[in-house]
Amino acid sequence: MDLFSPIKIGNYPLRNRIFMAPMTRCRSIMNNIPNEMMAEYYAQRASAGLIITEATQISTRGIGYPYTPGIHAAEQVEGWKKVTQAVHERGGRIFLQLWHVGRISHPLYHDGEFPVAPSAIKPSGSIYTYEGMKEFVTPHALSIGEIKTVIEQYVQGAKNAMKAGFDGIEIHGANGYLIDQFLRDGTNTRDDEYGGSVENRARFLFEIVKGICDAIGSDKTGVRLSPSGTFNDMKDSNPQKHFTYICEKLNGYNLAYLHIIDALEGDIRHGANVVELSVLREAYNGILIANGGYTQERGNAAIQNALADAVAFGALFLANPDLPERFAENEPLNTPNSDTFYTQDEKGYLDYPTL
């Protein structure tokens, strides 16, 4: 078995195990509405076994980066239809990544209102806004009633994704955004049923998982986690213990997949408490997607060693629209240009050459 062995995700038979990792590209220029440029970008990459889209806001309060798309307004659903149609016309499959940034935002995105989080703990550092870089603020700690509303917004986001023609959704529980802020004891110091023990800190994630599975089907629902992540000032006293519990509990939901980001170079530099993939593989029985610095060789090895069922490629897919074809033919790869990762036009977006 290798990256080219077919695989089933939910009820979808996929032609390969070379998935496209979710990547924010900031091309939703007007009102966070997906456009033709994005339809072309994703269609170019339709030979992936599965595309997972860039992170997409479930509510206006979920925004923390300029020109990123949403899935909470009717025009956004209409915009995404262009994307799903273009990918399906080329025989691809595409899941939408559902996102709420939590404290990784700024009042400038919310007419002066404060970003929200499990607890009023300010991230260190600063954030990009439409008015330039600004220091993070101390977020508003969500009340229980507000938490219930956010959970409903996730469920509505999943329903909207189905209306937009997506094949499924991925719950973004990684990289220091709202769900991850709940999961970790460095950012969640609540003393109610959403904080304290890992069972309580994970309640927010599991209520979202349950709500979405009930609404659109567990076979169309994936979850992404970054147990070793330090991005966005994340800290946790015992990630191995906590994420093993979470992965074991996810077994009860019959999900389409669990998507794990391994420790990245930045995490190692920040002294991350690394959780080995083998530990999580042991804990989780369903389809597991691995991601984080994989090459074709490492991806094949992960599949052959039964560490992962599929591999998601980020930067390599960004720069190589025909990544599976290049892997198949052992052709050289284009180099990703980080200067154009988050710019607003077609340069560095639609113009990476195919073979």
Catalytic residues: 177
Contacts with 309 (C-beta within 8 Å, 6 or more apart), sequence order = 7, 17, 257, 287, 288, 289, 303
> Token digits for 131?
């008015």
Task: Give yes or no for residue 55 binding ligand FMN (CB under 6 A).
Answer: yes
Site string for ligand FMN, 220-249 (x = CB under 6 A): ----x-------------------------
**DSSP element (H, E) containing 43:** helix 36-44
What is the maximal distance between C-alpha atoms in the chain?
56
Sign of the C-alpha dihedral computed for residues 300, 301, 304 and 305 taken in this order: negative
Site string for ligand FMN, 164-203 (x = CB under 6 A): --------x-xx----------------------------
Pick the closer one to ligand FMN by CB: 38 or 141: 38
CB of 349 to ligand FMN, least distance (A): 11
CB of 50 to ligand FMN, least distance (A): 13
Task: Give yes or no for residue 66 binding ligand FMN (CB under 6 A).
Answer: no
- Residue 253 is classified by DSSP as G
Pick the closer one to ligand FMN by CB: 141 or 323: 323
Pick the closer one to ligand FMN by CB: 151 or 312: 312
Centre a 10 Å sphere on the Cβ of residue 61 and count the other Cβ atoms it contains: 24
What's CA 189's distance to the chain center, in Å?
A: 24
CB of 347 to ligand FMN, least distance (A): 15
Indicate the Cα dihedral angle 51, 54, 55, 57, nearest 10°.
-110
Backbone angles phi, psi at 249, to 5 degrees: -70, -30
Q: CB of 238 within 8 A of CB of 201?
A: no
Site string for ligand FMN, 267-306 (x = CB under 6 A): ------------------------xxxx------------
Strand partners, 102: none
Pick the closer one to ligand FMN by CB: 202 or 311: 311
CB of 279 to ligand FMN, least distance (A): 19
Q: CB of 45 within 8 A of CB of 20?
A: yes
Q: Exactly one of 7, 14, 24, 139 binds ligand FMN (CB under 6 A); which one?
A: 24
Task: Give yes or no for residue 313 binding ligand FMN (CB under 6 A).
Answer: yes
Q: CB of 227 within 8 A of CB of 280?
A: yes
Three-state DSSP class for 311?
A: strand
Pick the closer one to ligand FMN by CB: 187 or 320: 320
- Considering only residues 68 through 107, tell me which ones interact with ligand FMN, judged by CB under 6 A: 97
Of 136, 137, 43, the C-alpha closest to 85 is 43
Centre a 10 Å sphere on the Cβ of residue 338 and count the other Cβ atoms it contains: 10
> Token digits for 113?
């209102």
Contacting range for ligand FMN; rule: CB under 6 A; set: 7-15, 16-24, 178-186, 347-355: 16-24
Pick the closer one to ligand FMN by CB: 172 or 190: 172
How big is the site for ligand FMN, counted in residues (CB under 6 A)?
Answer: 22
Pick the closer one to ligand FMN by CB: 142 or 261: 261
- Considering only residues 103 through 162, tell me which ones interact with ligand FMN, judged by CB under 6 A: none
> Token digits for 89?
């016309």
CB of 180 to ligand FMN, least distance (A): 10
Strand partners, 261: 291
Q: Give residue for tokens 């496209």.
A: 20
Q: Exactly one of 341, 343, 344, 350 binds ligand FMN (CB under 6 A); which one?
A: 341
CB of 314 to ligand FMN, least distance (A): 3
Give the interface with ligand FMN as residue ranges (CB under 6 A).
Answer: 21-24, 54-55, 97, 172, 174-175, 224, 261, 264, 291-294, 313-316, 341
